Structure 1
Amino acid sequence: MLIKEATPRLTQSEFAHLGSGELAYIRKMRVDEVSRCFPDAPDIDPRADLWALFAADGTPILLTDNRSSTFFKAAEDELRTVSLH
């Protein structure tokens, strides 16, 4: 007889905090997205390549025009970066 175990479920709050303080993600941003995530950011040249570092819960951490800086900041904050697809 095969007994199936119940699949553990996360609450919305548990899911939102998954990886909190441990994981971060980096993504390229368009200038028109900046004000939504970084409301205090200055005016930015629309031709600039921008990169952002976000905490696992989506909290913005860093906005830069240098992708390498996002990895340095993650390492400085002892965050492991993950790839999103």
Structure 2
Amino acid sequence: MDAKYEIMPENGERIVYVRPVNIEDLPEEIRPQVEGIKRLFAVHDADGERLALVRGRRLAFALARQNDLSPVSVH
């Protein structure tokens, strides 16, 4: 099931996806910047491009909303 979803639904919302990211899954050059943290949250656009990495899920949702984006959790 490879369903493609619209980035801009009829109501005009731009959707971004928020998902947890384990530190060991990050590129080597980023890991030293996040020592002591076990998990971050990534905000991705509909094409899968990472737009941001933040410490908490609530912060990821707030960041998205501040930028007129509609966040959706991805597990």
**What TM-score range do you get, normalising by the shorter chain?**
0.5 to 0.7
Distance change (3 Å), C-alpha of 1:23 and 1:70:
same
Task: Find out whether 1:22 has 2:19 as its counterpart.
Answer: no
- Tell me how far 1:68 sits from its aligned partner: 1.2
Determine the C-alpha separation between the residues in 2 that align with 1:34 and 1:49.
Answer: 10
Give the aligned CA root-mean-square deviation in angstroms: 2.8
More strand by share: 2
Higher relative contact order (CA 8 A, sep 6+): 2
Rounded to whole Å, the distance in 2 between the matches of 1:57 and 1:18 is: 11
What residue in structure 2 maps to residue 48 of structure 1? 38
Q: Which ranges in structure 1 are unaligned for 5 or more consecutive residues?
A: 1-9
% of aligned pairs identical? 22
Q: Which runs of 4+ in 1 moved over 6 A?
A: none
Question: Which runs of 5 or more residues in structure 2 are unaligned?
Answer: none
TM-score, normalisation: structure 2: 0.67
